[in-house]
């Protein structure tokens, strides 16, 4: 995988990099919203890469997105994420700090999974309205979670289970629930769900988390 691979999006800061971030897209595919998010992180000083886990497929329809997510092979996604990590590690200005990973919805599950399969590389995990595996004893990461108050795709029971798993594994975490929000509340292209105030607050909390030493 290279920075010029169709679909993959590499955003490099113009200044000295303050850290490296892997961004994993939601079930829509690698759309403009995720690319813009990467660019915004780069403006804050991060070197960022978002792999195209769908290999070119893209949709804004829920029914099609559900099909694409069901078709996604976890094994293939792990291969793509391995290559994405190698790309980030190969960028200039190497750092002793680990790589941070941010996942949206479908990407949140994969971000959590990555923190378990690559404990030496992943130091921080941010999830937007998504949960994942139930055992984090192999992880060395800290976690930040942004969750909606009303979410038919990610009910509170799932969030509670993730919190319990992190507690049992003695992993540091901070979870936030955003009032009067639903799934996708941080994605401006989802005009029926986007909540600007909540999205801005989640962004500020994410930047603060990523910049913690």
The answer to whether position 1 is within a domain reads no
Contact 181, 150 (CB under 8 A): yes
Q: What strands, in cross-sheet order, belong to the sheet with 122-128?
A: 9-11, 46-50, 19-24, 99-104, 122-128, 142-148, 173-178
How many distinct structural domains can be found in the chain?
1
Residue with tokens 């923190």: 115
Give the E-state strand segments of 132-189 in sequence order.
142-148, 173-178
Contact 2, 78 (CB under 8 A): no
| φ, ψ (nearest 5 deg) of residue 122 | -95, 115
Q: How far apart are CA 54 and CA 127, in angstroms?
A: 19
Report pLDDT for 197: 98
What CATH number did the domain enclosing 101 receive?
3.40.50.1820
The answer to whether position 97 is within a domain reads yes
Give me the domain span that covers residue 172: 9-211
The CA-atom distances, in angstroms, between 34 and each of 48, 65, 134, 149, 174 are: 11, 15, 27, 22, 23
The answer to whether position 4 is within a domain reads no
3 state DSSP class of 167:
helix
The answer to whether position 104 is within a domain reads yes
- 145-166 pLDDT, tens digit per residue, is 999 999 999 999 999 999 999 9
The answer to whether position 49 is within a domain reads yes
The answer to whether position 30 is within a domain reads yes
**Contacts of range 63-72, beta carbons closer than 8 Å, 24 or more positions apart:** 65/26, 65/27, 65/28, 65/29, 66/27, 68/27, 68/29, 69/27, 69/106, 72/106
The answer to whether position 204 is within a domain reads yes
Q: How far apart are CA 109 and CA 111, in angstroms?
A: 5
- 61-98 pLDDT, tens digit per residue, is 999 999 999 999 999 999 999 999 999 988 755 555 78
Of the pLDDT bands very low, low, confident and very high (cuts 50, 70, 90), residue 13 is confident
Threshold 0.85, pTM exceeds: yes
The answer to whether position 2 is within a domain reads no
Report pLDDT for 135: 95
């Amino acid at each position: 995988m290279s920075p010029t691979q169709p679909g993959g999006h590499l955003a490099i800061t113009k200044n000295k990099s303050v850290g490296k971030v892997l961004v994993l897209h939601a079930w829509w595919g690698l759309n403009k919203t995720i690319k813009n998010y990467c660019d915004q992180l780069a403006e804050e000083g991060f070197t960022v890469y978002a792999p195209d886990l769908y290999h070119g497929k893209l949709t804004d329809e829920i029914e099609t997105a559900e099909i694409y997510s069901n078709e996604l092979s976890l094994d293939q996604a792990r291969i793509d994420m391995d290559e994405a990590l190698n790309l980030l590690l190969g960028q200039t200005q190497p750092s002793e700090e680990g790589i941070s990973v941010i996942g949206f919805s479908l990407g949140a599950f994969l971000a959590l999974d990555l923190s378990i399969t690559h404990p030496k590389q992943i130091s921080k995990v941010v999830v937007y309205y998504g949960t994942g595996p139930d055992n984090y004893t192999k992880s060395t990461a800290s976690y930040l979670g942004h969750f909606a108050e009303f979410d038919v795709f990610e009910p509170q029971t799932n969030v509670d289970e993730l919190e319990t798993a992190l507690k049992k594994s003695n992993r540091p975490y901070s979870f936030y629930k955003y009032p009067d929000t639903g799934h996708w509340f941080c994605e401006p292209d989802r005009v029926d769900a986007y909540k600007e105030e909540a999205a801005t607050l989640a962004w500020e909390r994410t930047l603060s988390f990523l910049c913690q030493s």
